[in-house]
């Protein structure tokens, strides 16, 4: 990872949300949090002080802002020493981050944003939360929780039942 | 809701995007579903296939199922027989979910005297060795041992001991288990059993000698792990798993040789009235029948 030339500004990565809102994070943070950024920055040999722009034009500003917030926090936590305390503080922070005010629509958008830049840490966190929400529930309950439409035909449903009969113990 | 991903610098998805049937770049909802399913167990994944179109696609995705398979699944599939060349071609084309489904059905080997399978919920390897795969002292002498056909054994037959001075059952196994910790058990039944008017009846004729001295269990691996214990056999009338010991597989693709035995060779008394069904290897903590672990034991891993 190239260090910023002394005396110049830190190189940034900008995410652009729906409505053209810009959210920046330092390149060092992007490298740690996002696989796509790592690959992209590996590929580009020289671009001076230009900011790398990533367009997420289908995603609302709030989830993109939360994504950047998450990446910044993870990068900061990665540099501090590991300890049981630090792990506990991280868990508490994650719980506040995905607090009660985060409804399933926001969760879904967060996941989209995280997947689009392959921010594995956030993908993991959101998926664990979703998996926890739907574990043990009936398909209809899950559809309600996640706001999903049942778009399968009866034929498709039959096919799924046959395909998966092997798992029934 | 996030409906699609707008322009990105470089394509994401890599391999997954090139495999047939895998979600494409535009199918973000299916990708989201797949990321969630990656964090659930196989039975849940199959259940959620019914949710909607996106989940159905994700629930069949190769990269989801590959994560559920043991790391040496290709090696394990080598034991699956059948079909000759055509069968081998079919197996090479099989999707990962099909492979998981096949491996979770028993795969016989060593002439059908042994079989392994993946337990469905977490895809860990389990194994059973029939009494015919074990070396039992005196097995050919009908004064001591007979083979009893029964549906209570997954191999349809158990070895029944009438009486003997020298009781010893030894087994060997050479297998590549996935990384993990496993427990080895002898599946034993004190007393004879049969069906009378549709009901299961037990008889303790011939049961004797087990209270005089304990039975000794041993387990040793080719990489130096060793367990030794002893306990008195008990619980007449039901199948009991006697825990011979645990072993740890720490490296992937490590072919391990196991040697294990149960014995009571004190020749001052006879013992008898016992069925030996099989030896079982289960992931540690996974068992479905009554288990007895010896109290005094010494385990070196």
Q: What is the CATH number of the domain that holds B204?
A: 2.60.120.260
Residues B162, B246 share a domain:
yes
Record the pTM.
0.80
B57 and B187 inside one domain:
no
The answer to whether residues B284 and B205 belong to one domain is: yes
State the pLDDT confidence band at A46, using cuts at 50, 70 and 90: low
Low-confidence ranges of chain B (pLDDT < 50): 1-27, 296-301
What is the reported pLDDT for A72?
Answer: 92
Centre a 10 Å sphere on the Cβ of residue B37 and count the other Cβ atoms it contains: 26
Q: How far apart are CA A126 and CA B141, in angstroms?
A: 64
% of chain A surpassing 70 pLDDT: 90
Note the helical H segments in chain B: 15-18, 28-37, 42-48, 53-58, 62-68, 73-77, 84-93, 96-103
- How far does the CA of residue A155 sit from the closest CA of chain B (Å)? 12
CA atoms within 13 A on the CB side of B201: 8
Assess if residue B280 is contained within a domain. yes
Q: Minimal Cα–Cα distance from B107 to chain A, Å?
A: 15
Contact at CB, B36 and A134, closer than 8 angstroms: yes
In chain B, which residue's Cα lies nearest the Cα of A151? B52
| Nearest by CB: A152 against B6, B38, B56 | B56
The verdict on a CB contact (< 8 Å) between A115 and B5 is yes
**φ, ψ of residue B156 in degrees (nearest 5):** 65, 15
Query: Both B138 and B212 in a single domain?
Result: yes
Among the candidates B66, B87, B115, a domain finishes at: B66
Q: What percent of chain B has pLDDT over 70?
A: 86
**Nearest CB to B36; choose among A52, A130, A150:** A130
CB contact (8 A) between residue A43 and residue B47: no
Is A39 within 8 Å of B120 when comparing Cβ atoms? no
**Structural domain count, chain B:** 2
Instruction: Check whether residue B61 and residue B172 sit in a common domain.
Output: no
Say whether both B36 and B149 belong to one domain: no
Contacts of A162 (CB under 8 A, 6+ apart): none
Residue B166 placed within a domain? yes
Angstrom CA distances, A122 to B12, B261, B265, stand at 16, 50, 61
CA distance B43 to A168: 8
Contact B36 A58 (CB under 8 A): no
* Distance from C-alpha of B9 to C-alpha of A100, rounded to nearest angstrom: 34
Top pLDDT among B180 and A43 is at B180
For residue A68, give the 3-state DSSP assignment.
helix
Residue B194 CA: distances (Å) to CA of A9, A81, B144, B153: 85, 65, 19, 13
Surface of A (109-168) touching B: CB under 8 A: 109, 111-113, 115-118, 123-124, 127-128, 130-131, 134-135, 139, 142-143, 147-152, 156-157, 160-161, 163-164, 166-167
Q: Do A135 and B3 touch (CB under 8 A)?
A: no
CA distance B100 to B95: 9
Q: Which residue has the tokens 């009936």?
A: A138
Cβ partners under 8 Å of residue A159, min gap 6: none
Question: Which residues of B have a CB under 8 Å from any CB of A?
Answer: 1-10, 12, 28, 31-32, 35-36, 38-40, 42-44, 46-56, 60, 101, 104-105, 120
Helix or strand run (H / E) with residue A124: helix A120-134
Task: Write the DSSP symbol of residue B208.
Answer: B
* A29: Cα within 13 Å, side-chain hemisphere: 22
> Among B20, B42, B66, which residue terminates a domain?
B66
Nearest CA in chain A to B25: A116
How does pLDDT run across B14-33, given as a tens digit for each residue? 333 333 333 233 345 788 88
3-state secondary structure of A90: helix
Phi-psi region of B265 (alpha: psi -120 to 50; beta: other; left: phi over 0): alpha
Question: Does residue B6 lie in a domain region?
Answer: no
Determine if residue B13 is left, alpha or beta; phi over 0 gives left, psi from -120 to 50 gives alpha, anything else beta.
left
The pLDDT tens digits of the residues spanning B53-80 come to 889 999 999 999 999 999 999 999 999 9
B78 in any annotated domain: no
Tell me the three state secondary structure of residue A130. Answer: helix
A54, B36: Cβ pair inside 8 Å? no
Are B106 and B114 contacting, i.e. CB atoms less than 8 angstroms apart? Answer: no
Report if residue B158 sits inside a domain: yes
Last residue of a domain, one of B51, B66, B81: B66
SS3 B195: strand
Cα separation, B73 vs B98, whole angstroms: 12
- Domain match, B259 and B175 both: yes
The answer to whether residue B139 is domain-embedded is yes
Partners of B194 in the β-ladder: B201
B298 found inside a domain: no
Q: Is residue B244 a contact partner of residue B297, using CB atoms and an 8 Å limit?
A: no
Pairing of strands B296-300, B226-231: antiparallel
B132 and B48, same structural domain? no
Over its C-alpha atoms, chain B yields an Rg (Å, rounded) of 24
Does one domain contain both B48 and B150?
A: no
pLDDT recorded at residue A45: 63
Note whether residue B116 is domain-resident.
no
Burial class (CB in 10 A: 0-12, 13-18, 19+), A142: buried
Whether B208 and B270 have beta carbons less than 8 Å apart is answered as: yes
Same domain, B137 and B281: yes
pLDDT computed for residue B190 by the predictor: 96
Residue B175: domain span: 124-292
Most B CBs within 10 Å: which of A38, A52, A112, as the mutation test of the B interface? A112
| pLDDT averaged over every residue in chain A | 84
Per residue in A111-156, pLDDT (tens digit) is: 889 988 999 999 999 988 888 888 888 888 888 877 778 889 999 9
Ordered alpha helix ranges (H), B69-145: 73-77, 84-93, 96-103
pLDDT recorded at residue B83: 60
Q: Please tell me whether residues B34 and B164 are part of one structural domain.
A: no
Q: Are the C-beta atoms of B189 and B175 separated by less than 8 Å?
A: no
Residue B42: closest C-alpha in chain A: A167
* Complex ipTM over 0.90: no
Assess whether B258 and B150 both reside in one domain.
Answer: yes
């Amino acid at each position: 990872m190239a260090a910023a030339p002394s005396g110049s500004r830190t190189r940034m990565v900008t995410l652009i949300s729906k409505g053209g809102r810009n959210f920046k994070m330092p390149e060092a943070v992007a490298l740690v949090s996002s696989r796509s950024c790592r690959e992209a920055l590996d590929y580009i040999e020289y671009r001076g002080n230009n900011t790398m722009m990533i367009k997420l034009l289908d995603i609302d500003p709030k989830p993109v802002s939360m994504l950047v917030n998450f990446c910044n926090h993870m990068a900061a936590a990665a540099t501090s020493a590991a300890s049981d305390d630090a792990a506990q503080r991280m868990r508490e922070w994650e719980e506040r981050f995905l607090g009660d005010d985060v409804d399933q629509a926001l969760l879904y958008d967060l996941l989209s944003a995280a997947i689009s830049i392959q921010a594995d840490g956030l993908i993991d966190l959101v998926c664990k939360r979703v998996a926890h929400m739907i574990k043990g529930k009936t398909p209809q309950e899950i559809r309600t929780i996640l706001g999903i439409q049942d778009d399968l035909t009866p034929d498709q449903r039959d096919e799924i039942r046959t395909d998966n009969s092997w798992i029934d113990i | 809701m996030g409906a699609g991903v707008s322009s990105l610098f470089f394509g994401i998805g890599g391999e997954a995007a090139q495999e047939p049937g895998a979600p494409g770049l535009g199918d973000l909802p299916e990708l989201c579903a797949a990321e969630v399913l990656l964090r659930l167990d196989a039975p849940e994944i199959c259940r959620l296939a019914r949710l909607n179109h996106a989940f159905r696609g994700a629930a069949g995705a190769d990269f989801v199922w590959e994560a559920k398979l043991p790391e040496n699944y290709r090696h394990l599939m080598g034991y699956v027989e059948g079909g000759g060349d055509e069968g081998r071609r079919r197996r090479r084309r099989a999707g990962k979910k099909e492979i998981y489904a096949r491996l979770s059905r028993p795969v016989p080997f060593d002439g059908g005297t042994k079989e392994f399978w993946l337990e469905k919920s977490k895809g860990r390897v389990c194994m059973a060795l029939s009494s015919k795969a074990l070396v039992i002292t005196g097995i050919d002498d009908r004064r001591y041992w007979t083979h009893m056909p029964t549906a209570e054994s997954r191999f349809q037959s158990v070895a029944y001991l009438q009486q003997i001075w020298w009781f010893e059952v030894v087994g060997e196994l050479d297998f590549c288990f996935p990384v993990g910790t496993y427990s080895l058990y002898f599946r034993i039944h004190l007393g004879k059993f049969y069906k009378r008017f549709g009901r299961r009846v037990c008889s303790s004729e011939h049961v004797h000698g087990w209270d005089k001295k304990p039975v000794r269990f041993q387990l040793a691996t080719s990489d130096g792990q060793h367990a030794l214990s002893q306990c008195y056999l008990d619980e007449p009338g039901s199948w009991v798993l006697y825990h011979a010991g645990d072993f740890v597989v720490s490296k992937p693709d490590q072919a391990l040789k196991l040697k294990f035995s149960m014995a009571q060779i004190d020749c001052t008394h006879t013992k008898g009235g016992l069925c030996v069904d099989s030896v079982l290897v289960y992931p540690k903590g996974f068992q479905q029948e009554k288990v007895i672990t010896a109290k005094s034991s010494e385990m070196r891993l």
